[in-house]
Chain A
C-alpha cells in the first residue's frame, strides 16, 4: 500500500515537472515574451530579475573594504570630474530630471542626484553596505541593462572617488555641482 502510494506520487510529480519544463520551453520558443525596452516586464519577471540582481550584488559586494577617507574633498573633486564626464548622461545631475537615456533605457538608470532614502536613514552599517554595492556595481556593471562595467580602464581608486562623490551628490545645488565637477582649474599648478 505505502509503496504504491509513493510510486504514484513520484509519477505525478514527474508529470508535473515535465509539463512545467515543456510548457516553459514552448513559451520560450514561441517568441511571445515582449523583449522591447518600451514594454515593462510583468510583475513576476520583474520580481525575479530584481531579486536576482539585488541578492547577487549584495553577496558579491559583502567583503569589499571601504576606504577610511570617503569624506575627503580631494575624492569629491576627482570623482566629480569623472562622474560628470561618464555618468551624468544616464544618472543625471542637480537641476536635470530627464535625458534620452533615462527615457529610453529599461531598466531606467536611477537618478543619483536625488536623495534615495537608503543613503541617509538607516544605520551606519547599512550606509557602508550601500557604498560597497555601489563600488561593485560601478566596477562590474549590471548584465542585460544599460549599466556598463567601468573596471576595465578605471582603477579602484577612481571608482571609490566616484562612490564618494555620489554619496554627496544629492546635497549639491546646480552651482555647487558645476564648481566641483569642472575639470578646468582656475587655480594654478594643479595637474589633474
Chain B
C-alpha cells in the first residue's frame, strides 16, 4: 500500500508540471478564443484610417474575409489609388515584415 504512494505522487506532480508547461502556449489560449468583431470596422471613420498605419494593416489582416468587398474603403488614405501604390509606400519604410493584403492572396502563417 505504502509503496504505491510514491509513484502516484510522481505521476500527479509530473502531470501538473506538464500542464503548467503548456499553460502559456498560444494554442492553449485558443480554447476561449474570441472572434474578431469586424462589423465595427464599418462604423469607424474611414477617412481617418491610414492604410500605412500598422494598426489598420493589422485589422485588415484580421478581417480580410469580411472586407473582401472593400466597399466604402475608397475614402481611406492610401486606398484611394491602386493597391500597388499603398504597397509602394509601405515598402519605403525599412520594415521588412510589413505587407499589405488587399486582395487576400497572401502568406499564411505556418
Q: Which residues of A contact B (CB under 8 A)?
A: 68-69, 71-78, 80-82, 85-86, 153-154, 168, 171-173, 175-176, 178-192
Q: Which residues of B contact A (CB under 8 A)?
A: 21, 23-24, 26, 29-30, 33-38, 40-41, 43-44, 54-55, 57-59, 61-66, 93-99, 104, 108-110
Would you call B108 and A191 a contact (CB within 8 A)? yes
**Option from A69, A75, A180 in Cβ contact (under 8 Å) with B96:** A69
Would you call B26 and A82 a contact (CB within 8 A)? yes
Cross-chain pair count, CB within 8 angstroms: 119
Would you call A175 and B37 a contact (CB within 8 A)? yes
- Residues of B within 8 Å of A80, CB to CB, are 58
Measured CB to CB, the closest approach of chain B to A187, in angstroms, equals 4
Would you call B38 and A75 a contact (CB within 8 A)? no
Distance A80 CA – B29 CA, assembled complex (angstroms)? 12
* A80-B58, A179-B37 as given contacts; A86 in contact with B97, CB under 8 Å: no
- Residues of B within 8 Å of A182, CB to CB, are 33-37, 62
Would you call A73 and B98 a contact (CB within 8 A)? yes
Would you call B21 and A153 a contact (CB within 8 A)? yes
Would you call A171 and B55 a contact (CB within 8 A)? yes
* A82-B26, A178-B36 as given contacts; A186 in contact with B55, CB under 8 Å: no
Would you call A154 and B24 a contact (CB within 8 A)? yes
Would you call A187 and B64 a contact (CB within 8 A)? yes
Would you call B65 and A184 a contact (CB within 8 A)? no
- Residues of A within 8 Å of B44, CB to CB, are 173, 175-176
Would you call A73 and B35 a contact (CB within 8 A)? no
Would you call A192 and B109 a contact (CB within 8 A)? yes
- In the assembled complex, 11 residue pairs joining A and B whose CB atoms fall closer than 8 Å, in A order, are A73-B97, A74-B58, A80-B58, A81-B29, A168-B54, A168-B55, A171-B55, A184-B30, A184-B34, A186-B35, A186-B63
* A183-B30, A186-B35, A186-B38 as given contacts; A153 in contact with B97, CB under 8 Å: no
* A186-B35, A186-B38 as given contacts; A72 in contact with B97, CB under 8 Å: yes
10 A-B pairs besides A68-B94, A187-B66 with CB distance below 8 A are: A69-B98, A77-B62, A80-B58, A82-B29, A154-B24, A175-B44, A182-B33, A183-B26, A183-B29, A192-B26
